[in-house]
C-alpha cells in the first residue's frame, strides 16, 4: 500500500538501546550495523534491524563520534542512504502507518546516525505517483 504525505515528528522517536523499551515506542527499529554491546536481544525488544541503513563500517570508523566531523558525516551518510532507497522507503512506509522509535547505541545523543536518519525521514515527502508507475512496470 503506497501512502502519501509527510511523517509527523511525533511518529519518529529516538532512543538509546540501553533505555528500557516502552509501549509508547511503537515499532522499535535498530539502526546500527552492530548489535549494541551488553544488550540481550530479549531485553531490547527490537522489531526490525535495518543494517542496510546503518553507516558503512568505513564511514563509522572515520566519524568515530567526533563532533568536529558531524557535518561531513551527515552529508556522507545521507549519500549512503540514497544508495539504499528501497530500505529507506520501507522504513518511511512504516513511519507513515504508525509510530516508530529509531534505536541506537551511541553515547552522544545529538551526533549519531539515528539523528540523521530521523531528519531524512521527516524531511522527505513521499512521491506516491512515481512509485506506483514503477511498481506497475515491474509486475
pLDDT digits (tens, 9 = 90+) for 104-137: 999 999 999 999 999 999 996 544 333 433 333 3
Contact by Cβ (8 Å): 96, 137: no
Residue 93 inside a domain? The answer is yes
Residue 1 inside a domain? The answer is no
Instruction: Give percent of the chain with pLDDT exceeding 70.
Output: 86
Q: Which residue has the cell 530521523?
A: 118
Residues 6+ apart with CB under 8 A from 47: 27, 28, 29
The whole model's pTM is what?
0.84
Q: Range of 29's domain? A: 9-138
What confidence category does residue 6 fall into, taking pLDDT thresholds of 50, 70 and 90? confident
Residue 113 inside a domain? The answer is yes
Q: Is the Cα torsion angle 28, 18, 44, 61 positive or negative in sign?
A: positive
Residue 59 inside a domain? The answer is yes
pLDDT digits (tens, 9 = 90+) for 54-113: 999 999 999 999 999 999 999 999 999 999 999 999 999 999 999 999 999 999 999 999
Residue 2 inside a domain? The answer is no
Q: How many domains does the chain have?
A: 1
Amino acid at each position: 500500500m503506497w501512502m502519501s504525505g509527510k511523517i509527523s515528528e511525533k511518529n519518529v522517536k529516538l532512543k538509546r538501546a540501553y533505555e528500557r523499551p516502552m509501549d509508547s515506542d511503537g515499532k522499535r527499529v535498530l539502526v546500527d550495523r552492530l548489535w549494541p554491546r551488553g544488550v540481550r536481544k530479549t531485553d531490547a525488544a527490537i522489531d526490525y534491524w535495518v543494517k542496510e541503513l546503518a553507516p558503512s563500517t568505513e564511514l563509522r570508523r572515520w566519524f568515530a563520534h567526533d563532533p568536529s566531523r558531524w557535518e561531513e558525516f551527515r552529508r556522507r551518510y545521507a549519500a549512503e542512504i540514497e544508495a539504499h532507497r528501497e530500505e529507506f522507503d520501507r522504513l518511511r512506509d512504516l513511519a507513515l502507518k504508525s509510530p516508530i522509535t529509531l534505536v541506537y547505541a551511541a553515547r552522544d545523543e545529538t551526533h549519531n546516525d539515528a539523528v540523521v536518519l530521523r531528519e531524512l525521514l521527516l524531511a522527505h515527502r513521499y512521491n506516491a505517483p512515481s512509485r506506483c508507475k514503477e511498481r506497475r512496470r515491474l509486475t
